Structure 1
Amino acid sequence: MNKLANRAVGTKLKFDTKYVAELTSIGGLELSADNIDVTSLDSDGGYRQFIGGFKDGGEVSLSGFFNPGDPGQAAVYAAFESGATVPCGIEFPTALGASWTFNAVVTGFSTGAELEEAVSFEATLKVSGKPTLVLPTPAP
């Protein structure tokens, strides 16, 4: 069995043309699909039958240290204010050779300050349309 586990260190989030600095967590895309009930009175064996419906790319949550001088964090905030849909990417460490590309709308942005903690920021990106998972080409 070939097991390949890698540390997350080096994973980056690209927001439009800028990387978002000082992230401590990038939530993964949670793809889901609706189903449509097509059960009829003559369905075989008394079991419900379904077909696939619309798919949803889910959301990506971001957490990190607030850096008001970071162009990436500023771009996330600006997109929240404008409501713009922005191209994004999650680039995993080089050893994995994988990445996600997707368009997103910023649906949440917050900062926080707690005693004995660094000033934090969080954001939520709602995936719009079809995301693409880019996988490395397997060796022959």
Structure 2
Amino acid sequence: MSDDVRRALGTKLKIGKTTPVAVAGLSSIGGLELSADTIDTTTLDSDGGYRTFIAGFKDAGEVSLEGFLIPATGKGQKELYDLFESGEVDDFVIEFPPETGTKWEFKGVVTGFSTSADLEDPLAFSATIKVSGKPTLTVGTGGSG
């Protein structure tokens, strides 16, 4: 098991499909939070007095981002802000370290963007992307090395 455990170093978030832009300065990329609604199918003659359910709509949740604000050269940071302002749906990819061959691809809407300046900390930014539709997870072999 420990041979397969990988560091997150090298994980990237990219915006766009044709000419993807990697977001610079990221220190944290939150994972997709998949969940499914349930639909109650309980009837008066349900077995054993227990409720029964079937799956309803699925929701891929949100992806949270945190990083260091790099005003002049922070590729992707301005693009996140611009997407927040426009409200447009765009393509996103979370690429885990290359040796894993693993990535999430999804469409999303930037629903939050903030910056902070604290006396004892570097300039920072955070953003939130709401996943729209079905995401795709590609899992590579990522053999131990």
User: TM-score, normalized by length of structure 1?
Assistant: 0.94
Q: Give the aligned partner of residue 128 of structure 2.
A: 124
Q: Give the aligned partner of residue 99 of structure 1.
A: 103
Deviation at 1:2, TM superposition (A): 6.8
**SS across alignment from 1:48:** coil
Identical residues among aligned pairs (%): 59
Alignment partners' CA distance in 2, 1:56 and 1:7: 28
RMSD: 1.5
Alignment partners' CA distance in 1, 2:27 and 2:98: 18
Q: Give the aligned partner of residue 90 of structure 2.
A: 86
Q: What code does the residue aligned with 1:6 have? A: R
Q: Give the aligned partner of residue 25 of structure 2.
A: 22
Alignment partners' CA distance in 1, 2:100 and 2:140: 8
Q: Give the aligned partner of residue 33 of structure 1.
A: 36
**SS across alignment from 1:9:** coil
Alignment partners' CA distance in 1, 2:67 and 2:116: 10
User: TM-score, normalized by length of structure 2?
Assistant: 0.91
Deviation at 1:59, TM superposition (A): 0.4
Q: Which of 64, 79, 85 is the aligned partner of 1:75?
A: 79
Cα gap change, 1:5/1:87 in structure 2, threshold over 3 Å: closer, same or farther?
same
Alignment partners' CA distance in 1, 2:46 and 2:142: 42
Deviation at 1:58, TM superposition (A): 0.5
Alignment partners' CA distance in 2, 1:107 and 1:84: 10
**SS across alignment from 1:60:** strand
Deviations 1:113-135 (CA, angstroms, capped at 9, x unpaired): 00021000000000000011101
**SS across alignment from 1:114:** coil
Alignment partners' CA distance in 1, 2:9 and 2:2: 22
Cα gap change, 1:110/1:137 in structure 2, threshold over 3 Å: closer, same or farther?
same
Q: Give the aligned partner of residue 47 of structure 2.
A: 44
Alignment partners' CA distance in 2, 1:116 and 1:46: 58
Q: What code does the residue aligned with 2:132 have? A: S
Q: Give the aligned partner of residue 7 of structure 2.
A: 7
Instruction: Give unmatched runs, 5+ long, in structure 2.
Output: none
Contact 2:100 2:142 in 1 (8 A): no
Q: What code does the residue aligned with 1:125 have? A: I
Q: Does 1:113 align with 2:117?
A: yes
